[in-house]
A and B are shown apart, each in its own frame.
Chain A
Amino acid sequence: MEIETGEATRRHFFVGAIYAIWGAIAAALGLPAFVYLFFPPKARQPDQWVEAGDIAKLAPNSPIEMTFRRNRTDGWRIISEKSTAWVVKSADNRVVAFGPQCTHLGCAYHWDDSKNEFVCPCHNSLFAIDGRVISGPAPRPLNRYQSKVQGSRLLLGPLEGPPEKKA
């Protein structure tokens, strides 16, 4: 082990201080930048329930695409946009509203009456009437809207994952 001269000690101190200060500055800029870019914005608008349509005339087990307008917070804007839901009324009068996008890569799927399946035209994912994946690359069942029924009016809340995922 070599013995450090006074000059070498001084040099070590300067080099160490330079690294330490630049490290501190990088952290003081980097952490706020990380938080700023990756933390989600504070939600000011609570999610609102919107009326999707009348379900009185819905035939059981026959999915219908309902379109409705809803307000969505998009960054600094609140936009009113057209949304759709595939609504299914089961035989026991329970209503489920599926989000309109395939869970594989987000294509719009549709109900095929002849096959009794939801068909995604992009990569041939097939879903059953309860949203289950029958075949194809879709990794999970169809997403559902939170929903509640008042009289014959169907009210929809935010989109959620399939019920299995929540548990």
Chain B
Amino acid sequence: MRRRWQNLSHWLDHRTGIQTAVRQFLYEEIPASSGWHQVFGSVAVFLFLVQAFTGALLAFNYAPTPGDAYNSVRYILTELTGGRLIRGLHHWGASMMIVVVVLHMTQVFLYGAYKKPREATWMVGVVLLLVTLAYGLTGYLLPWDNRAYWGTVVTTQIAGMAPVVGPYLTRLLGGGGAVGVVTFARFYGMHVLLLPPATLLLIAVHVYLVRKHGVAATPGDEALPKKQFYPVQVFKDTVAIFVAFAILFVMALVARVPLEQLADPTDTSYIPRPEWYFLFLFQTLKMFNGTLEVVGAVVLPGLAVLALVLVPFLDRGQMVKLTRRTVAFASVAFAAITWTGLTVAAVRSTPPPSEDAEVDYSAPTDWMQLSPEELAGVGYFREENCISCHAVGGHGNKIGPDLTATSIHRDAAWMIQHFKRPSAMRPGTSMPPIQLSDAQLNSLAAFLLKLNASNATALDNAPDFAVQGALVYQAGHCAACHLVNGVGMKIGPPLNGLSKRESRSWVEEHFANPQKLSPGSFMPPYKLAPKDLENLTSYLFALPE
């Protein structure tokens, strides 16, 4: 058996040279000083491969056109097993790749490893950094939610500010001022067709150059006997890769990647913010106004990139010991402090999202399909703490029956009698009577009739503002005139799609004084408590169109 295996591998090597090639790659000689500080390049390549792999998996269930893009991302998140994990790996992998690439550059910079003859290696590396950022920029648009849309609107406008090439860039990005299907197609094309092969090519050139010049030795260890890359340094690289991967995997499992509502070009209240690694640019831009704006938007970032590219030509001295590279350390410290300061300032200036009205679109949103009466039932269900005795879809206590078991569902009349006097309907039960009005019990029964095993978690996701809003809606008898999700009357206008027709402030004012804003309307004024008004408006604005 062993003999046969050896024959096969000899044959393979003779015909392809693969084993010799791998051996030559692994048994490269590296300086005696090599060690843990040189692992970042390998980690970056590994993360690139993870991005390629998870990106391809996402593409298998992704429709690259606006609208469908959003729906397919939601489908990946809510309906595919493991979809959330795959997207999490891709999303956090992108952030992590930026971190690792910057760490790699910092290490090379501090050691002065860009010096003669390794200038080209460094410059290709800078291009790889820009490519990594380009992935972040183009990938940001692809979920086509509000965040993606508004972030890209700002990005394309900034590109348009560039002196001389601005109009051409705008044309290239497909924006005649507006972000739409053409911009989307261009960003997608760049993200999946242009950038990956370019990255592969650049990595190949980068690694070729590293091999050509050898790993940079620190002063003093040129005379020491060299080491082999395999297995000790490969082991260190592998451990570093494992640590990076473990962090990435845990983040993908634990940290929820947001998906906001579908991109809405008419949303006037949205405050776009770029991805965290672009926040410093965003903040820089704020410091320049009027005609100087182009300085913050294009000139300064352009000069920074130019300075990075030219580093090997600005610092042409001999390699010196790490401890003597004070200017290098000062530069890194200066860059780190500036970056941190700008980023912190940007984060601080970001108004906190209105927690109450936050809808998590990356989770099932079946609750949106409920009628206000049923959704108010969710409210009574929570208020009465039914979950302390009943399980819903296997979760919760087992004192009473599981409420998703359809076998216990009866008609509403029976359920209401049962709520009022449990022991009369089920002799011997330990369930206490529920102290609610008939209308409220109706609501509760309507919700319980809708509940089944497959929608239990989705209904459990109903955010509190929506449930509270539905309670206000019920208390105000709004359904006597208005239609929501096909339930109610058509005396007043249907309320689905209200967010498309009116602004939030208009709606809130309208409650207080309908006739002022809708002359001729016979809607009575509603004096609502501020919290109720906020919940009701948020709920109505969250309704599907």
Instruction: Name A's B-contacting residues (CB within 8 A).
Output: 11, 14-15, 17-18, 21-22, 24-25, 28-29, 32-33, 35-37, 39, 41-44, 46, 75-77
CA distance A43 to B458 in the complex (A): 13
Scoring B61, B72, B80, B232 by chain A CB atoms within 10 A of each residue's CB, the highest score goes to B80
If A76-B72, A76-B75 touch, does A25 touch B234 (CB 8 Å cutoff)?
A: no
B454 touching A46 by the CB < 8 A rule? yes
Which residue of chain A has its CB nearest to the CB of B46?
A25
Q: How far is the CA of A115 from the CA of B13 in the complex (A)?
A: 66
Q: Are B364 and A44 in contact (CB under 8 A)?
A: yes
Residues in chain B within 8 A of chain A (CB atoms): 50, 53, 57, 60-61, 63, 68, 71-72, 74-75, 78-83, 85-86, 89, 231-232, 234-235, 238-239, 241-242, 245, 249, 364, 366, 454-455, 458
Beta-carbon contact of B81 and A18 below 8 Å: no
- Total A-B residue pairs with C-beta atoms closer than 8 Å? 77
- Are the CB atoms of B245 and A39 closer together than 8 Å? no
* Contact in complex: B82, A43 (CB < 8 Å): no
Report the minimal beta-carbon distance from A1 to chain B, rounded to whole angstroms: 17
Among A18, A28, A76, contact of B74 (Cβ-Cβ < 8 Å):
A76
Identify 4 new A-B residue pairs, CB closer than 8 A, beyond the known A28-B249, A76-B61, A76-B63.
A32-B85, A36-B86, A39-B81, A41-B75
A130 to B232 alpha-carbon distance, docked (Å): 72
Contacts of B89 in A (CB 8 A): 29
A116–B539 Cα distance when bound, in Å, is 60
B interface majority secondary structure = helix
Q: Give Cα A23 to B50, complex, Å.
A: 15
Tell me if B239 and A39 are in contact (CB < 8 A): no
Given contacts A25-B245, A32-B86, A75-B75, contact A14 B231 (CB under 8 A): yes
Chain A interface, DSSP helix/strand/loop, else mixed: helix
Q: A39-B80, A76-B71 given as contacts; is B231 within 8 A of A11 (CB)?
A: yes
**Roughly how many angstroms separate A18 CA and B57 CA in the complex, as a whole number?**
26
B39 to chain A, nearest CB (A): 13
Listed by A's residue number, 18 A-B pairs whose Cβ atoms lie within 8 Å are: A14-B235, A17-B235, A18-B234, A18-B235, A25-B241, A25-B242, A28-B245, A32-B85, A32-B86, A35-B81, A36-B57, A36-B81, A39-B82, A44-B454, A44-B458, A76-B61, A76-B68, A76-B72
Residue of B nearest to A33 (CB): B57
- In angstroms, Cα B53 to Cα A29, docked, is 9
List residues of chain A with CB within 8 A of the CB of B74: 76
Contact A41 B80 (CB under 8 A): yes
Query: Are the CB atoms of B454 and A33 closer together than 8 Å?
Result: no
Q: Which residues of A contact B61 (CB under 8 A)?
A: 75-76
A99 to B154, CA, bound (A): 53
Instruction: Check B82 against A35 for contact (C-beta < 8 Å).
Output: yes
**A44 to B83, Cβ gap below 8 A?**
no
CB distance from B375 to the nearest CB of A (A): 18
Is A15 a contact of B231 with CB atoms below 8 Å? Answer: yes
CB of B57 within 8 A of CB of A41, answer no
Tell me, in angstroms, the Cα distance from A14 to B230 when the chains sit together: 9
Tell me, in angstroms, the Cα distance from A134 to B228 when the chains sit together: 73
In the bound assembly, the distance between CA atoms of A17 and B57 in angstroms comes to 29
CB-based nearest A residue for B86: A36
Is B238 a contact of A21 with CB atoms below 8 Å? Answer: yes
Chain A residue numbers with a CB within 8 Å of B68 are: 76-77
**B63–A37 contact, CB under 8 A?**
no
Partner of B238, one of A18, A28, A42: A18
A43 CB contacts on chain B under 8 angstroms: 454
A21 & B239 in contact (Cβ 8 Å cutoff): yes
In the bound complex, residues from chain B placing their C-beta under 8 Å from that of A76 are 61, 63, 68, 71-72, 74-75, 79
Cα(A80)–Cα(B494), bound, Å:
24
For B364, what are the chain A residues with a Cβ–Cβ distance below 8 Å? 44
Q: For residue B237, which residue of chain A has the nearest CB?
A: A18
A47 to chain B, nearest CB (A): 12
Query: Are B79 and A33 in contact, CB atoms less than 8 angstroms apart?
Result: no
Partner pick for A36 among B80, B239, B242, B245, CB 8 A cutoff: B80
Distance in angstroms between the alpha carbons of A84 and B171 in the assembled complex: 48
